[in-house]
Amino acid sequence: MRDVRAEVFAIKLCFLMYHGSMESGGQGVYLANVTRELSRLGHDVHVISGPPYPVLDASVTEHRITTHSFQSMLLDRNAYFGHRAPLSHLQPLNFYEFATTRFTFSSLIAVFSLRALVKLREVEAQYGRFDLVHDNQTLSYGTYLTRSLLDRAVVANVHHPLDVDIANGLREVRSIGGRVKRIAWYPWHMQHVVARRLDALISGSRASAALIERLWRLPPGLMHTIYDGVDLDAFHPASASEMEPGTLLFVGNSEDYNKGIVYLLRAMAQLPAASKAHLYVVGGPSVAPRVAPTEIERLGIGDRVTIVGRVSERELAAWYRRAQILVSPSLYEGFGLPVAEAMASGTAVIASDGGALPELVADGETGRVVRAGDAAALADAIGGLLALPERCREMGAAGHRRALERFTWGATASNTEALYRDVLARRGAGREPRR
């Protein structure tokens, strides 16, 4: 086999990231880790991002955009109103952004992408032209203009198709007004249009790639599967067992119906009291959650569930090691970062068959896979493994080995670099290999 490292391109690369939080989803985690690894491969990596801003490696150059979205106001009201010129809020684009982002996600990423386009021109004036722009799930009109107007090579991530979020959310929303709001919230058309016009698309699993190709009717060869990774320095088994029998863990945004928290809570209600199972819900929105507390109260299981909320990465790693089982009941996942992190931490996993999760979890070897949206199946799987703590330890060890083999950020970056090389070669913009 040829030595891929001996043929690495040294390129000037810019990532676009509209929402870089490290605590509210996998996109910020992906950005931080992939940019660090690409920089280690010898590339000059820049990031243009909006608030909340990502935590990046010192080798990555960051360029921040100030937005006037409703969400940025919620993040820091004092800075939003106190540290900006009062009349700036009335400028047409700023006023439009604030007024619309209370009700729709479409304008949030559309306006960000236009601001990013302007920022990109400013950054290039200072640092020189970028060889390639990598869009991290924005897929908005500014991204299209980056390719068509500025003639830059553009690669984009589609971590999961938002069409699925719409459908899964509508399953739980019964009122007409609520359904209309949910449909209006998502950019159900914009991303389809932009995706077809880029140089290449990346998705984190075979299942996600195939679904996106079908839903968006993409031409052959545009979509590429590259698995996400896990920070193995942060997520690893303890030197001695920290597992607490009976401890169940859910990691994710409990306000997102797509994450399936309601089915896990219904499964908890079906477990016998003798199981002594206790569920800890880690992660979630920056504001007070509503979906999980409402369902907990309805089911009367408040003594069996604790909502922890957002935690640091170090605390999250400790939660994985403490849990006997990580439960991921998602209706759909493009990759499933909490599942990969739990496996890397040596924790057994019970996951749904939603999207990519069966590609991560080897049923019967590293955990169990059950049908998505089936609370009874979840309850059976949880009850069966809770009674077998030693079996959970064996599954956790097997999961750790699987994570080491398949889900590392170094591999993600190397495969992404190979895709960049193909894109630039097709456009006739590739540079000579650097040894």
pLDDT at 165: 64
pLDDT at 423: 96
Residue 389 region, left (φ>0) first, then alpha (ψ -120 to 50), else beta? alpha
The model's pLDDT over 413-424, given as tens digits with 9 standing for 90+, comes to 999 999 999 999
Q: Going from the N-terminus, what domains does the chain have, and what CATH number goes with each?
A: 4-229+408-426 (3.40.50.2000), 247-406 (3.40.50.2000)
Positions of the chain with pLDDT lower than 70, given as ranges: 1-9, 20-25, 162-188, 286, 429-435
pLDDT at 28: 86
Strand partners, 200: 155
pLDDT at 413: 97
Cα torsion 100, 106, 109, 110: sign: negative
pLDDT at 83: 80
Q: Residue type for 136, please?
A: N
The pTM is what?
A: 0.85
